[in-house]
Amino acid sequence: MTELHPDLRENVRLLGELLGQSIRQYPGQDCFDLIEEIRAAAKADRRQESGSGQRLIQLLSQLQDDQLLPVTRAFNQFLNLANLAEQYHGVRRKRGHQSDLMVESLGEVFERLQGKGISAAELHQRVRELRIEFVLTAHPTEVTRRTLILKYDEMSDCIARLDHDDLLPAEREEIIQRLRQLITEAWHTDEIRYERPTAVDEAKWGFAVIENSLWQALPRFLRSLDQALVAATGDGLPMDAAPIRMASWMGGDRDGNPNVTHEVSQQVFLLGRWMAADLYLRDIQALRAELSMWQASDELRAQVGDSREPYRTVLAGLRERLVKTRDWAEARINGEPADATGILFENSDLTEPLELCYRSLVDCGLETVANGPLLDTLRRAHTFGLPLIRLDIRQEASRHAEAVAEMVDYLELGDYLAWTEEERQRFLIRELQSRRPLIPRDWQPSEAVREVLATCEVVAGQTPEALGSYVISMASKPSDVLNVILLLRESGMKHPMRVVPLFETLDDLTGAPDAMAALFALDWYRGYCRDHQEVMIGYSDSAKDAGQMMAAWAQYQAQEQLTEVAGRYGIHLTLFHGRGGTVGRGGGPANRAILSQPPGSVNGSFRITEQGEMIRFKFGLPRLAEQSLTLYTTAVIEATLSPPPAPEPEWREAMDWLTERSLKAYREVVREHPDFVPYFRQATPEQALGKLALGSRPARRKPSGGVESLRAIPWIFAWTQMRMMLPSWLGSDVALAQAAEAGRLPLLKDMRARWPFFRTYVDMLEMVLAKSDLRIASYYEKTLVEPGLRPLGEDLRQRLAGCIEQVKALKERDTLLQDEPVFAHSLRVRNPYTDPLHYLQAELLRRDRESGEGGQVPEMVERALKVTMAGIAAGMRNTG
């Protein structure tokens, strides 16, 4: 059995000890002793010592209302500290290793590709043209408050400083004292948000990730990419290369979120410019100190005359314009008169003076200086630009159709919504080719349509670098895309913005290839998109609609067919993967997922959402961000140059056979079983999730309604909290069992061995099953579910146990996670801390429901309930 790495164990022990000291000070020794007794009982219970389970439940049920909060908070805090230690351990230097990152280095991957016969010229071209875009989304899964995140970041920094062999005792004590202060501050800080963050708050949180982490990580990553490329091909990255881009949905995603209006989007665009100007100002100040040289090229002299410090003169002019830009953005944000004279607006306003300095230094033989901090700033300028982040806009297809319909109706041209798809397309293309505006001056649209048009006007006022994609959810036909292009053009849009249909339900995915073929068949549209198209694949809604196995196969086939359709029309396709943090929403190790995509579908470009707490786990610290950028880049390059083989016909047939059964089994329970919705409501904390002020979006698309109206995130959050993990395995249990009965196991083993897609699917399923816990799920049911609904729970638990057996048989292993000992041990370490939170949560939900029916829930009970949700989310390392 693999133990934790000694350094990691020591860090976990140290953090736990310091937390214990804080608890002893407040609420006191008695509380500390009680917590230790609960922890010991939970450990004994996990070792299945006789009577230990009863002891644990007895201890927890005897807690007074005033003891509930400190006990739940202690376990929650410990789990957050354990995460922090693990996160740091994931990026600590591997001593004696050629790369100081814990992932395969760029150089190692380049070497392997060249070993497979990829020429230096092809490798260089592919890396130079690489386009990877991360889209930060504030899905309501980041439970931890920003205040605490900042404290945790500083704690990580302290652990890094302790990780040196040459510290003097006094230096070591000074760092531990700072850690003690931070842990005490965290212990005395309320971990629960009481107000939901606004969409603007979420956007600021996204900017903070850039400021605190990516601003340092990105130039360091590009430096290492440049060095690896020179070593492999003899030629480095061009100065203006921007293989990595950052985009965001925070403040732009209005699908089902009435809180995101055109004013919010405008505010976020301006905040981005303010933040960018502020960050570049800091860079320019530092560069003025660096570039004190007097030699300069004739080109630079032509601009600054005979100045003794030519570079400082150029940078002083840039600094002045950045200050004006920042002041202008601030005035606009505050709704005050703003002077736009002399501000930096187009990206070239920023990059040209910096490139002038760079060329001059190289011309004067000062290449070493040119390739220092100046090059880092230039690379930031080409990546983040003056807008800092590219804002995506997302809106539902029907909202655009309604806007066009109102216009058509006002102009007395007919009933647009009653027209056939062909009639709509003919009308839209005729209007798009016409030079006259369609919207009449005196027209008064309805409130909803006015909002759609106002958003288009805000978008039209931005530079191309400020815009990501216009994503259309529930898109299914060419007119859905053309509607948006027409509305943007009518609002004054001068350059073609990427318009991206999102296919997310099972029916959408199945229809996607035909829908795109119909769009590509329009000559006008191919000219508009300049032979480049992005298509978004939704992972969460398809899994909620059809079950995880069916959804994964439908996504794979849709991507395969979309790649083929784009190839037929000579269009470069970029797939935008709308993945979540959990397996039920397409999450899991990124490089494995990318390397198991259909061959040809990762063609040098890749776009992916990073959601909620996963942003912190992947990009929260500079070294962590550098590691994540390396991981994604190597996977995208490898999937492009050395894609996996196409599945063999009998594998496809086997997937069709499996998914036909998994879909039926999933829907029979989720859609058709009369007890399912009441069981779900009673057995999980779904009804109480609204109490957590997680994000700016409502948990439901429609206030009333069953499972289908619930967003994918709370749907998964609720099942994760009680450890049934149902969305990720339901349906697979039946399919795998029937495959074994039909003698198909040897074929499935062959698929697992030779087909990355199926291997990744089985590994992700195993990971989720390892997080499930039959005893805990059974305890929730016993505590919360009325007797008449329990037979369904009993059946589901038996099916979960059966699914675990099927996966072990398929992998030929005695236990789950035998090939992932570190992950398995990490789960075991967390159990004694998450178990008490689960048992307490069930008890608190019972009290909450009982008092909720006839009176006021005590505040301590409600607060403790929220803390258990946050703590379990931390223990599981993901929420939704």
C-alpha–C-alpha distance, residues 494 and 490, integer Å:
10
CB of 388 closer than 8 Å to CB of 276 = yes
H, E, C per residue of 430-448: HHHHCCCCCCCCCCCCCHH
Dihedral angle over CA of 12, 17, 18, 22, nearest 10: 130
Enclosing H/E stretch for 579: none
**CA distances for 637 relative to 231, 247, 333, 626, angstroms:** 16, 21, 41, 16
- Residue that the structure tokens 């608890």 belong to: 23
Residue 878: partners with Cβ closer than 8 Å, 6 or more residues away? 141, 581, 582, 587, 613, 614, 720
CB of 854 closer than 8 Å to CB of 680 = no
- 139 labelled catalytic: yes
At 539, is the secondary structure helix, strand, or coil? coil
CB of 796 closer than 8 Å to CB of 727 = no
**Cα three-residue angle 131-132-133, rounded to 5 degrees:** 115
**Tokens linked to 414:** 């007919």
Q: Which of 139, 262, 400, 477 is catalytic?
A: 139
H, E, C per residue of 707-748: HHHECHHHHHHHHHHCCCCHHHHCCHHHHHHHHHHCCCHHHH
At 586, is the secondary structure helix, strand, or coil? coil
Q: What is the DSSP letter of 643?
A: P
At 533, is the secondary structure helix, strand, or coil? strand
Enclosing H/E stretch for 355: helix 347-363
- Residue 661 identity (one-letter amino acid): R
Enclosing H/E stretch for 58: helix 52-61
Q: Which of 544, 577, 618, 838 is catalytic?
A: 544
* CB-CB neighbours of 778 under 10 Å: 18
CB of 395 closer than 8 Å to CB of 469 = no
At 388, is the secondary structure helix, strand, or coil? coil
C-alpha–C-alpha distance, residues 831 and 625, integer Å:
28
Alpha-carbon dihedral sign for residues 389, 395, 401, 402? negative
Residue 466: partners with Cβ closer than 8 Å, 6 or more residues away? 269, 272, 385, 386, 387, 390, 391
Beta bridge partners of 137: 611
**Tokens linked to 492:** 């004054």
Nearest CA to 288 out of 239, 354, 348 is that of 354
The gap from C-alpha 697 to its chain's centroid, in whole angstroms, comes to 16
CB of 581 closer than 8 Å to CB of 878 = yes
Residues in the chain: 880
- Residue that the structure tokens 């490139």 belong to: 355
C-alpha–C-alpha distance, residues 354 and 611, integer Å:
34
- 572 labelled catalytic: no
Task: State residue 428 phi and psi, 5-degree precision.
Answer: -65, -45
C-alpha–C-alpha distance, residues 220 and 637, integer Å:
19
Helices (H), 411-501: 421-433, 447-460, 478-490
- Residue 270 identity (one-letter amino acid): L
Dihedral angle over CA of 124, 125, 128, 133, nearest 10: -120
- Residue that the structure tokens 């829907």 belong to: 667
At 181, is the secondary structure helix, strand, or coil? helix
* Active site members: 139, 544
